[in-house]
Amino acid sequence: MKKAMMVLLLALLLMAGSVSAAEAAEADKLQVVATIFPQYDFIRAIAGDKVELTMLLKPGAEIHSYEPSPQDILAIQKSDLFVYVGGESDAWIKTILESAQSDTRKDVALMELVETTDEHGHEHDEDHEHEYTHGEDHEHEYDEHVWTSPVNTMTIVSCLTDALCELDEANADFYRANEKAYLAELTELDEAFREVVASSEKKHLVFGDRFPLTYFVLEYGLTYSAAFPGCASESEPSAATVTQLIMDIMKEQIPVVFYIELSNHQLADVLAEQTGAKAMLFYTCQNITSDDFAAGKTYLELMRMNIEPLREALS
């Protein structure tokens, strides 16, 4: 009903010369809002031009300090499908959804689609022992970056496709065909990472940065040392952390120290200088630079760019 009313209104405005034909045509598309780049890109791959897609977090912006604008809140309220992460960094969403309940809008939280773990690799309600270490002793918080595992992404893509098909049965075959093609590419990506790990003797990674890659290392049987957990607010590591990371690099003869996108990578550069390792970028896809966004870079492209750096780091 909501969409029918919108189409009728725009049709009347078009007749009056207030809107263009293109604007009127957009009213008949699903209105989809994604908070950040990963789910935006997944929807883009599945739905193409069949939906009107909006990403709230601007390219190049810091994900953990984002605050919604009034326009963002209005976009959520008007959407047919709203996709968000579901963690502490977007806790603001709960209030918005409670105040803007809808019988027609479908809300999807990524963290509800897959099994989640804390930032030390511990699963919900289980007490597993892992070798994952951070430079500081942080409280356990559930890692929000579930898409860093291509296997998790396969599950997420299928769930998003189900949501699109439920809301737009007329284009279900289109969505399903794109889902099938996308899952095939994700499978190839997963196999590429597994080949790198299987052919490498080393299994330990060092990040002179935040570490939003818990699901990645869990999926591929890797361990890591890092300056901060993925959602840490700290910007400067302690002397003890730097010393421990240097010791890890030297002890394990680690050839690469990683930093993540949109980072100043100063700590990674210092660690590289002190140990002779190489500072290299590892994409987490939590956000994307303005240039990469304008160039149409995708999750798959960026994750593939991690394959050879990972090989070098484990060599």
End-to-end CA distance of the chain: 59
How confident is the model over 283-310, as a mean pLDDT? 97
For domain 201-282, the CATH architecture is 3-Layer(aba) Sandwich (3.40)
Whether residue 129 has pLDDT greater than 70: no
pLDDT score at 182: 98
Query: Tokens standing for 174?
Result: 């289109």
pLDDT score at 229: 78
User: Closest Cα to residue 89, out of 123, 70, 127, 61?
Assistant: 61
- CB atoms near residue 3 (< 10 Å): 15
Asked if 51 and 27 touch (Cβ cutoff 8 Å), the reply is no
pLDDT, mean over the chain: 87
Q: 155 falls in which pLDDT band (50, 70, 90)?
A: very high
How far is Cα 33 from Cα 281, in angstroms, rounded to an integer? 29
The model's pLDDT over 19-45, given as tens digits with 9 standing for 90+, comes to 444 454 456 899 999 999 999 999 999
pLDDT score at 27: 62
pLDDT score at 119: 61
How far is Cα 197 from Cα 185, in angstroms, rounded to an integer? 19
Asked if 72 and 100 touch (Cβ cutoff 8 Å), the reply is no
How far is Cα 253 from Cα 103, in angstroms, rounded to an integer? 57
Annotate 108-135 with DSSP letters as a single string: EEGGGTS--BBTTSPBTT-------EES
pLDDT score at 140: 52
The model's pLDDT over 44-74, given as tens digits with 9 standing for 90+, comes to 999 999 999 999 999 999 887 788 999 999 9
- The better pLDDT of the pair 131, 242 is held by 242
Q: Express as a percent the part of the chain with pLDDT over 70.
A: 83
Asked if 52 and 139 touch (Cβ cutoff 8 Å), the reply is no
Rg of the chain over all Cα atoms, to the nearest angstrom: 21
- The better pLDDT of the pair 243, 12 is held by 243
Asked if 214 and 143 touch (Cβ cutoff 8 Å), the reply is yes
pLDDT score at 64: 76
pLDDT score at 89: 83
Whether residue 175 has pLDDT greater than 90: yes
Q: 236 falls in which pLDDT band (50, 70, 90)?
A: confident
The model's pLDDT over 267-278, given as tens digits with 9 standing for 90+, comes to 999 999 999 999
Q: Express as a percent the part of the chain with pLDDT over 90.
A: 71
pLDDT score at 99: 82
* Helical packing angle, 37-47 and 150-167, nearest 10°: 60
Task: Give CA 142 to chain center in angstroms.
Answer: 15
- The better pLDDT of the pair 137, 284 is held by 284
Whether residue 12 has pLDDT greater than 70: no
